[in-house]
A and B are shown apart, each in its own frame.
Chain A
Amino acid sequence: MVERRPLWTFFTHAVLLLGLVVTIFPIYVALVASSHDTTTLIAGVPMTFGTHFFDNYARVILEGTAAPGAAPVGPMLINSAVMALGIAVGKIVISILSAFAVVYFRFPLRMVCFWLIFATLMLPVEVRILPTYEVIADLSMLNTHVGLIVPLIASATATFLFRQFFMTVPNELVEAARIDGAGPLRFFKDVLLPLSRTNMAALFVILFLYGWNQYLWPLLVTTDESMYTIVMGIKRMIAVGDDVVEWNLAMAAAILAMLPPVAVVVIMQRLFVKGLVEVEK
C-alpha cells in the first residue's frame, strides 16, 4: 500500500540523480581537464574529453610539471602509500594491544593510564602540530618515513573504539577460555582477534584515508623532494607564482591521488560498512 506511489518514487529518484550529479560532476570535470593540454584550459574547462589523456598521466608520473619543485608524482605515490599503510597498521596494532591491557588486566595505576590515554581524544594532531614538529626535529626524524608516520599514530581514538568493543564481548568467553587453560595471549589470538575482524577492517579504511589525505604534517616534516607525498605534490603544482598553472597535470595528479583510497574502499566495502555499526557503539 505504502510502496505503490509513483509520484513518490519519481521524486526520490529525481533527488537521487541530482545528488549523483552534485557529487560526481566535479570529479568528471577533473577527469576531463586532465585530458587536455595546458593552453586549452586557460580559456576554461571544455565539457568533453581531449586527446592528451595518456600523455598527461605519463608526464605527471615520470617527469612532473615545469614548475620548480614539482617533481614527478610516481615516487610521491609510493611515499603516500607507505605513510597511509604505516599509520593504519601501526595504529591498529598499538591500539588493540592497549585496549586489551586496559580491559582485561589489572595493574597499579591502571585508571591513571586509562585517563591518560583517553584525554588525548581531545588533542588532535593537527592542533598540536607545531610542538609535535619540534619534537620530531629534536629526534632528527625530519625527512624520514618514521617521522611522517609515528606522531599520527599517537592518539587514542582507535584504543577507545576497541575498548568499547571488548566491553561487549561476553564474560563467558573469557571464563571458558580460562577453564580450557588458555593464557591471556592465547585468548587474545584465538578469541578477541577473530571477533574484531570487521572492526579492524572499518578502522583500516578510515585510517588509510586519514593518512593518505594528510597535508599539513608532511608539509612540515619533509623538505627533501624524495620524501614528498602526493597531496603535497598537487599543491606544489599549482603554487607557481606568476607562471601559468599546468591545470591539466595538476588534475591528473588529483585523479591519481584518489585512486588508491578508492581501491581500498571498494575492496573492503562490505566489511567496512558492517564494521562501522560496531565501531560506533
Chain B
Amino acid sequence: MYSLNAYRGMQFYGVLLLLPAAILLITFAYLPTANTLINSLYIPSFRGEPRTFVGLENYQDLLSDTTFWQVARNNFLYALGTIPTSIALALGMALLVNARLPGRGMVRMAYFTPTILPMIAAANIWMFFYAPQIGLFNKLLSIVGISGINWLGDPNVALSSVIVMSVWKEAGFFMIFYLAALQSMAPELKEAADLEGTSRWSFFWRVTFPLLMPTTLFVLINALINAVRVVDHLFILTKGGPNNATNLLLYYVYENAFSFFDRTYAATITVVILLVLALVATLKFTVLDRRTHYQ
C-alpha cells in the first residue's frame, strides 16, 4: 500500500509538511474533545466555588432525562425522513439533467440553488410558506376549503415541516455527486444495451444503479453526518418547539450550554453525539473500504 515513499532520506521535510496540520488538529480538535470528555464528569461551579467531580452522574441523569430521549427520537425520525428521500430525489434529478435537453446547464444550476443558499436564509424564505396566517401553503389550502394547519406550531406536524424544508435544501447537493459519477460512466455501456434492446428500466437497475453504488454509499455517509451536524434551520423555524417536538441533539446541546448554562450537561450530550458519529465512521471504514471491487 505504501510503495510510494520516494523520499525516504528526508524525514525532516515530511515532519515539517505535517506540522501545520498537526498543530491545528491538536489545538482545535483534540484538546476541545478531551475537554468535553473531562467536563462531562463534573457539575458546573456554583457561586464561585470550584466545580465538583461527579463521575458518571451526568450520564445517569441523561438516561432518566425524558427530554433527551424525545430529542434522540426526533433526531432518529429526522434522519429517517430526510436521508432516503434526499438520496432518491438526488438520483432522480441527476438522471434527468444528465440526459440531452435544451438549457441543460440552466436546469442543473436551478436544481443546485437551494444548496447554495445559506440554511438560515432558506429557513427564512420557508417561513413565507409555513406561517399560519399569511403563509402560502394555508392560502392555497383555503382555496380547496381546508383551513388553519399550523405547520410549525402543531407538535404532530412540525417535525415533518422541518424535514420537508431540509430535503428541499439538501437533495441538490447530493445530485451533484451523482451527476459527476454519471458523467464518468462509459457511454459504450448504453450503446451496448441499446443494441441488445435492453429496456430503460432494466438498464437502470442492472447497470446504472450498481455502478453508482460507491456514490450512494458516499452520499449516505454524508447524509448521516449532516443529520446530526446541521441544526441552523431550527433557530429560525421552531427553536426546537413546540414543546421539544422538533428539538434535535445538537440544538439541545446548544440550549443546555447557552440557555440553561449547564455546560457540563451539554458536554455529556456531546459525548453521546460523538459516539453516534464514531459508529457512522466505523460504517464508513468497513463498508466503504469493501466497495473497491465496483471500480
Contact with B along A181-197 (1 / 0, CB 8 A): 00011010000000000
Report the minimal beta-carbon distance from B280 to chain A, rounded to whole angstroms: 7
- When distances are taken between beta carbons in the complex, the residues of chain A under 8 Å from B77 are none
Q: In this complex, what residue of A is CB-closest to B197?
A: A1
Structural contact, A132 and B28, CB atoms closer than 8 A: yes
Sort chain A's interface into a size bin.
Answer: 35 or more
Structural contact, A107 and B32, CB atoms closer than 8 A: no
Structural contact, B22 and A116, CB atoms closer than 8 A: yes
Q: Which of B57-65, B104-112, B143-151 contacts A (4 or more CB under 8 A)?
A: B104-112
- When distances are taken between beta carbons in the complex, the residues of chain A under 8 Å from B116 are 209, 258, 261-262, 265
Is the C-beta of A101 less than 8 angstroms from some C-beta in chain B?
A: yes
CA distance A266 to B109 in the complex (A): 8
Report the minimal beta-carbon distance from B220 to chain A, rounded to whole angstroms: 13
Is the C-beta of B120 less than 8 angstroms from some C-beta in chain A?
A: yes
Report the minimal beta-carbon distance from B223 to chain A, rounded to whole angstroms: 13
Is the C-beta of A165 less than 8 angstroms from some C-beta in chain B?
A: no
- When distances are taken between beta carbons in the complex, the residues of chain B under 8 Å from A171 are 3-4
CA distance A183 to B129 in the complex (A): 60
- When distances are taken between beta carbons in the complex, the residues of chain A under 8 Å from B186 are none
Is the C-beta of B113 less than 8 angstroms from some C-beta in chain A?
A: yes
CA distance A267 to B8 in the complex (A): 41
Q: Which of B47-55, B79-87, B152-160, B177-185 contacts A (4 or more CB under 8 A)?
A: B177-185
CA distance A110 to B257 in the complex (A): 38
Structural contact, B277 and A45, CB atoms closer than 8 A: no
- When distances are taken between beta carbons in the complex, the residues of chain A under 8 Å from B260 are none
Structural contact, B274 and A23, CB atoms closer than 8 A: no
Interface of A is mostly: helix
- When distances are taken between beta carbons in the complex, the residues of chain A under 8 Å from B257 are 130
Q: In this complex, what residue of B is CB-closest to A13?
A: B101
Structural contact, A122 and B124, CB atoms closer than 8 A: no
CA distance A123 to B32 in the complex (A): 10
Q: In this complex, what residue of A is CB-closest to B277?
A: A122
- When distances are taken between beta carbons in the complex, the residues of chain A under 8 Å from B263 are 130
Interface of B is mostly: helix
Is the C-beta of B295 less than 8 angstroms from some C-beta in chain A?
A: yes
Can you list the 4 inter-chain pairs with the closest CB atoms, starting with the nearest?
A105-B14, A131-B32, A44-B134, A254-B121
Instruction: Give me 22 A-to-B residue pairs in the complex whose CB atoms sit less than 8 angstroms apart, sorted by A's number.
Output: A2-B200, A8-B200, A19-B96, A26-B168, A45-B134, A98-B17, A105-B8, A127-B229, A127-B250, A128-B270, A135-B32, A154-B25, A154-B28, A155-B25, A178-B6, A187-B6, A216-B231, A247-B128, A254-B124, A257-B118, A276-B176, A276-B177
Q: 8 Å CB contacts to A: which residues of B118-145?
A: 118-122, 124-129, 133-136, 139
Structural contact, B118 and A154, CB atoms closer than 8 A: no
Structural contact, B18 and A102, CB atoms closer than 8 A: yes
CA distance A19 to B124 in the complex (A): 21
- When distances are taken between beta carbons in the complex, the residues of chain B under 8 Å from A102 are 18
Is the C-beta of B192 less than 8 angstroms from some C-beta in chain A?
A: no
Structural contact, A235 and B236, CB atoms closer than 8 A: yes
A-side interface residues toward B, CB under 8 Å? 1-2, 8, 12-13, 15-16, 19-20, 22-24, 26-27, 29-30, 33, 41-45, 94-95, 97-98, 100-108, 110, 113, 116-117, 120-124, 126-132, 134-135, 150-151, 153-156, 159, 166-167, 169, 171, 174-175, 177-178, 184-185, 187, 209, 212-213, 215-216, 230-231, 234-235, 238, 247, 250-251, 253-254, 257-258, 261-262, 265-266, 269, 272-274, 276-277, 280-281
CA distance A149 to B10 in the complex (A): 32
Structural contact, B267 and A110, CB atoms closer than 8 A: no
Structural contact, A95 and B180, CB atoms closer than 8 A: no
Partner of B277, one of A27, A124, A247, A253: A124
Report the minimal beta-carbon distance from A161 to chain B, rounded to whole angstroms: 11
Partner of A184, one of B13, B15, B229: B13
Which of B4, B29, B199 has the most CB atoms of chain A within a 10 A radius of its CB?
B29
